[in-house]
Amino acid sequence: MSSPYGKARGSAAKPSSKRKPSDNVVEVDADAAPEEKPVAGEKLQKVLARTGIGSRREMERWIESGRVAVNGKPARLGDRVEDRDRITVDGRPLDRAPAQETRCILYHKPTGEVSSRKDPQGRRTVFERLPKLKAGRWISIGRLDYNTSGLLLFTTDGELANTLMHPSANIEREYMVRVMGEWDEEMLKRLLEGVMLEDGVARFTDIQDGGGDGINHWFYVVIMEGRNREVRRLWESQGLTVSRLKRVRYGDVFIPSKVKQGQWVELEPKELKSLYRMADMELKNQKRGTHKEREKMERQFTKRKGPGAAKSRRRPR
């Protein structure tokens, strides 16, 4: 049985007796799909998520509830935006980061700083010592409590931060912890198998003895979640008190010994690549800070330590 389109194509391709040999004949395939034009802009919820104010799904709910406007008009789910479009959330202009660039830094948090942008009690926040950005804003990948020091990552890619912080990410977080009290191997076994806390079962995936004298002992522990005060609560469930706590690793990123408390450093390209790999996201172009930013941080650090710090750095004659 012949195709109904075969006869039509055959008749269309039959040359006319009046056509000159030099004439070009263009055949059109009736079965071919029309060529799709590229869609301009990005999905609005993706742009919103990249600023770090929430996940894509959460941004979809914000759009549906009328909290987002584009160029002065209420946004709708499915809207796409370009760089020239003006986006507001709850009436406030949105500070957008470049779509194809990212910047990530490692900050060595000291104790006595909160991980939020503002503190009602007026305490210092971790954001105060970070370099200023011309576009976008810093988003912390996780948090550390007031009395915990160590590695804290910041990025300008909110979607990366949200993905890494999601419970399904299962990223190793390693801490150096000093506990006070009596312990034994059975206790460590319980902490590895899992104990019931007020918000569910929690456990360490690894415990390594770090040594110590008397009632104070050091351990290196690994958890796969980022629940509030999880490391402290696990030890407290066994009757021990945590007297020191420092995060030393997040995934494949370790805190360098050269980075002192209160200082930050740009992530190396391989470290940035590992973060995007853990998030199962396409790697973006890395934007790095300037030499002036680094010099400013060094000056602030020296000023905080006092005049004696500057003298100690001078080479002896």
CATH number of the domain within which 198 lies: 3.30.2350.10
Residue 37 in any domain: the answer is: no
Read off the DSSP letter of residue 209. Answer: E
The per-residue pLDDT for 67 is: 92
SS3 226: coil
The per-residue pLDDT for 97 is: 66
Task: Round to the nearest angstrom and report the end-to-end CA distance of the chain.
Answer: 101
Helices marked H in 125-229 — which ranges? 158-165, 185-193
- Looking up residue 62, the CATH number of its domain turns out to be 3.10.290.10
Same domain membership, residue 262 and residue 142: yes
CA distances from 6 to 25, 29, 32 (A): 18, 11, 14
What's the CA gap between 240 and 228, in Å, rounded?
Answer: 18
**Which of the pair, 114 or 53, is modelled with greater confidence?**
114
What's the CA gap between 143 and 114, in Å, rounded?
Answer: 9
Domain count, the chain: 3
What's the CA gap between 129 and 296, in Å, rounded?
Answer: 10
The per-residue pLDDT for 240 is: 96
**Sorting pLDDT into bands at 50, 70 and 90, what band is 42?**
confident
The per-residue pLDDT for 292 is: 82
**Residues 298 and 306: beta-carbon distance below 8 Å:** no
Same domain membership, residue 177 and residue 239: yes
Q: Model pTM?
A: 0.72
**Sorting pLDDT into bands at 50, 70 and 90, what band is 29?**
low
C-alpha 305 chain-centroid distance: 31
**Which of the pair, 310 or 215, is modelled with greater confidence?**
215
SS3 15: coil
Domain with 153, as residue range(s), is 101-167+253-292
Cross-strand pairs, 43: 80
Same domain membership, residue 115 and residue 86: no
Residue 136 in any domain: the answer is: yes
Same domain membership, residue 259 and residue 162: yes
Residue 110 in tokens: 């000291």
Question: Is the pLDDT assigned to residue 15 strictly greater than 60?
Answer: no
Question: Is the pLDDT assigned to residue 235 strictly greater than 90?
Answer: yes
Please report the sign of the dihedral spanned by the C-alpha atoms of residue 278, residue 281, residue 286, residue 289. Answer: negative
- Amino acid at residue number 51: T
Cross-strand pairs, 221: 175, 207
- CA quadruple 237, 241, 244, 246: dihedral, nearest 10: 0
Say how many CA atoms lie within 13 Å of 257 toward its Cβ. 0
Tokens 């976008």 appear where?
136
The per-residue pLDDT for 305 is: 59
- Please choose, from the candidates 118, 142, 111, the residue with its C-alpha nearest in 3D space to the C-alpha of residue 227: 142
Name the strand (E) or helix (H) holding 186. Answer: helix 185-193
The per-residue pLDDT for 122 is: 92
Residue 69 in any domain: the answer is: yes
Residue 129 in any domain: the answer is: yes
List the single range of 56-60, 170-174, 231-235 with lowest mean pLDDT: 56-60
Same domain membership, residue 200 and residue 53: no
C-alpha angle 186-254-289 in degrees, rounded to nearest 5: 155
**Sorting pLDDT into bands at 50, 70 and 90, what band is 155?**
very high
Active site residue 145: yes
Same domain membership, residue 176 and residue 243: yes
29 phi and psi, to 5 degrees? -80, 115
Same domain membership, residue 219 and residue 72: no
**Sorting pLDDT into bands at 50, 70 and 90, what band is 5?**
very low
What's the CA gap between 275 and 264, in Å, rounded?
Answer: 17
pLDDT tens per residue across span 247-290: 999 999 999 999 999 999 999 999 999 999 999 999 998 988 88
Same domain membership, residue 269 and residue 163: yes
Read off the DSSP letter of residue 257. Answer: T
Residue 105 in any domain: the answer is: yes
Q: Which one from 83, 85, 95, 145 is the annotated catalytic residue?
A: 145
pLDDT tens per residue across span 289-316: 887 887 777 776 666 655 544 443 333 3
Domain boundary among 93, 125, 153: 93
Question: Is the pLDDT assigned to residue 146 strictly greater than 60?
Answer: yes
**Sorting pLDDT into bands at 50, 70 and 90, what band is 55?**
confident
pLDDT tens per residue across span 61-114: 999 999 999 999 999 998 998 888 889 999 988 877 667 789 999 999 999 999
What's the CA gap between 306 and 299, in Å, rounded?
Answer: 11
